[in-house]
Amino acid sequence: MAILLAIVAAVFVTVIVMNLSTGEKKIKRTITSLYGTDDPQFVRAMGSLLGPALLPGNEVRQMLNGDEIFPSMLEAIRGAKTSITFETFIYWSGQIGEQFSEALTERARQGVSVHVLLDWVGTGKNRQVLHRVNGESRRGSRALSPSSLVQRGTAE
């Protein structure tokens, strides 16, 4: 039994060390784009990848980084009238994280149903938005991280 336990512990330690010690992987090939966001094939491909087809009347815009993405996201949050569903792997600290937290909290205060799901690993300890939204919710708002689901023993 002791040998089996030693083998399991050695494998566990090896896996952890390998994950923490390997360097960042670099992309060695350039991925060429077959078509732009304005091409009808893009809409078909996204419908196939995402499941349901993109609905007519929706707009797709190519945005390359946070400087282009975040202002549009914040504008959409601030303009929400009935509900917001916000799911992200990484929740940012600093000024941009504070802007998202304030915008989501303000909408919850105004009665908008706000649902936030943050990745447990990607957000680290920066989960102030969860507490703010839950504290200000008026109508069905809920902010969760997977760790809070596991700690309570529920999965919604």
Which residues pair with residue 143 across a beta bridge? 116
What is the 8-class DSSP label of residue 83?
Answer: E
Which residues pair with residue 88 across a beta bridge? 118
Of residues 114, 92, 93, 88, the one with CA closest to residue 103:
114
Q: 66-156 belongs to which CATH class?
A: alpha beta
Neighbours of 98 (CB within 10 A): 13
C-alpha separations of 15 from 64, 108, 132 in Å:
35, 42, 37
pLDDT higher than 80, residue 152? no
Mean per-residue pLDDT, 86-97:
76
Q: Express each pLDDT in 4-44 by its tens digit.
A: 889 988 998 888 777 776 666 677 788 787 888 888 888 88
Residue pair 129/91 in contact by the 8 Å Cβ criterion: yes
Q: Express each pLDDT in 99-149 by its tens digit.
A: 888 898 888 888 888 888 777 666 665 556 666 666 655 555 455 555 544
Rounded Cα distance between 14 and 35, Å, is 43
